[in-house]
Structure 1
Amino acid sequence: MAVTEFLLFILTATLGGMFLCGANDLTTIFVSLECLSLCSYLLSGYTKRDVRSNEAIMKYLLMGGTSSSILAYGLSWLYGLSGGEIELQEIANGLINTQMYNSPGIWIALLSITVGIAFKLSLVPFHQWTPDVYEGSPTPVVAFISVISKVAASALATRIFDIIFYFSLNEWHLLLEILAILSMILGNLIAITQTSIKRMLAYSSIGQIGYILIGIIDRDSNNGYASMITYMLLYIFMNLGTFACIVLFSLRTGTDNIRDYAGLYMKDPFSALSLSLCLLSLGGIPPLAGFFGKLYLFWCGWQAGSYLLVSIGLFMSVISIYYYLKIIKLLMTERNKEITPYVQNYRLSSSISKNSIEFSMIVCVMASTLLGIVMNPIVAIAQDTLF
């Protein structure tokens, strides 16, 4: 594959995500979102000779274009109802001045914007693109999309809902609560049945964003957004570390089937241990960083009164440990009859590209394991940034 264009798309998508995190008017929001989305579509279909990659880009493009049009429709309602304002705070003031903050049009805008953001966050029932794109796209692209889309869309959601729809607090809280509950339940339950590790991580990410929504919903709590930012930071390292291990394995074997990982510890104990630590951290096993991130997130949600959300989140976190441990059990098997030919023919490589991936994997594994020890400084930085 051509590396130059690949890096160009990656950097452009990153730039779009960065602008989206700081965008404060409708024009910048939509242009930044499309900059991120269009590059993500191109990256997902970058291996154009692969049929699965072609399928991924078509589904991603069609559903992404539909969601962007719905989002633009909602933003246009805000523009009209506010009297022609595009800056977020001015829109909120304009809605008050025009007495349109409680009109039927504002509910249309709320629903349209929620649908558009829910697609970017892979929330149920707007998640249909996620497993197919995860399975068909090149694995490094999946790792990139899995974190940047969630970070950027979460930043956008907090800004729009907090600034513009603050007078519709109960309504958008109810919408996001329903989406969070559906995502946590469906994502974790379907992940149990998957045979491809990339599809399993797709449904796992749907469940994870359900947990993250608890922090967005609990904006009345002083720590709500801080807990979301803290867990998002830890999730980035946990997810990228997991995908780094998958990239190494797929480069050396050419498969992403979960059963083909059986016995990897016998041939490559370093990769097997790294993957195990990242998966355990995603599951929230103490004393890894994922445990402290979930603990702080759920504690803030409980303090804010979201008892149902936190209870479902705790229960589904326990369920998620099952399918993570299932993979770890396969990795650590020592029975020769269960070891697949892929692992039996597994060969370690010392090429520069693989060494770079291993270095990234080490950094992410260390962060996923040790960042929980320094949770207080991380939380303090997140709170200072917000308040």
Structure 2
Amino acid sequence: MVFFPPAQTISTGLVVAIVGFFSSFPIILQGLVAMGADADQSASGLMAAALSMGLAGIALSLWKRQPTSVAWSTPGLALLAASALPEHGFAGAVAAFLFAGLLTVVSGLWRPLGRLAASIPAPLAQAMLAGVLLALCLVPFRALAEAPRHAVPILLTWFVVRLFSRPFAVPAAVIAAALVTLVAVEFQVPLPEQLISRPVWVTPEFHLGNILSIGVPLFIVTMATQNIPGIAILKSFGYTPPPGSLLASVGFASVVTAPFGSPQTCLAAITAAMCASEDSHPDRSLRFWSAVNGGIFYCLLGLFAGVITAFASLAPPMVLGTLAGVALLGVFANATFAALENPKYREAAAITFLVTASGITIFGLGAAVWGLLIGGLVQTVSQLRMR
């Protein structure tokens, strides 16, 4: 038994953390601000999310001896960024985070709920996700007209680096955005005692509208686009992940960190593939160390979330939106393709997409819920007529 991580897994873990964190941290900040979080709460949420996925990834990988990479829910965060300010502000959003985490725990411990979540047609779930992402993915191109001197360097960097290394395209765009910000504003180096982030407790305030409009869609999107694919990725590399205990574990991590502003912890898909592949380590039995090391680096980045958040708050208008948009372009393309690929679901998926993208709110329920409900109704009626 190897008690110390091989050097190759340390470098893989570092790459995983850089890609996982810097490819999507603008999205978590956008999502938290949209939910009503102030600067301190946003920093606490980013820190809690990074520590949650870091510690959960370390624990699960050491426990199962499998490269169980854990992430925050990028699609779920995009859902938050496109949602209306909830009742009771951020405290109401935290209650929805807690509910989504509890549903994940129950789906891991109680198979009927897990099967129910998995039974939602994938094309409709992907169409709902694509509808949520549309407005966010349009921002970079609106920025070309409204703030070209800020948007062009970011988009150009992303495009050029993407030609050579897709995983590092968004981190490179983050560097470009940082340089744009440094040129545009004056940034004061924080004092040593300000470097480490501090947790901020938010007492949840439960409201049925928030639970239905935020908590349930957050759970569905995360299950359909992160947790289920994450388990499938591990299986594709020859591992035997236990779905129940993995889901219950990431759900528990979500519940524990939600009062500190963390939206949803889940199983990773892309970084799981990085940890489970041959590039991680030639010996398949040692690849779990890559996920362990990735978790350690996630925790280190999380400790400095306050500095990252403070710097991001100085960014000129549309810079963060441009970053979030380019980070989500790949997710949007994959979701749109998956939604419309199957002709059997195409019409219902298109309706789900359009209703979700409309941004409507009826009876206190947001567009994502109505998109899934109306699309599901159309699909059900269509199937009954074909019988």
**Interval of TM-score (by shorter of Structure 1 and Structure 2):** under 0.3
* TM-score (normalised: structure 2): 0.26
**Which structure shows the higher helix fraction?**
1
Query: Highest CA radius of gyration, 1 or 2?
Result: 1
Higher RCO, Cα 8 Å, sep 6+ = 2
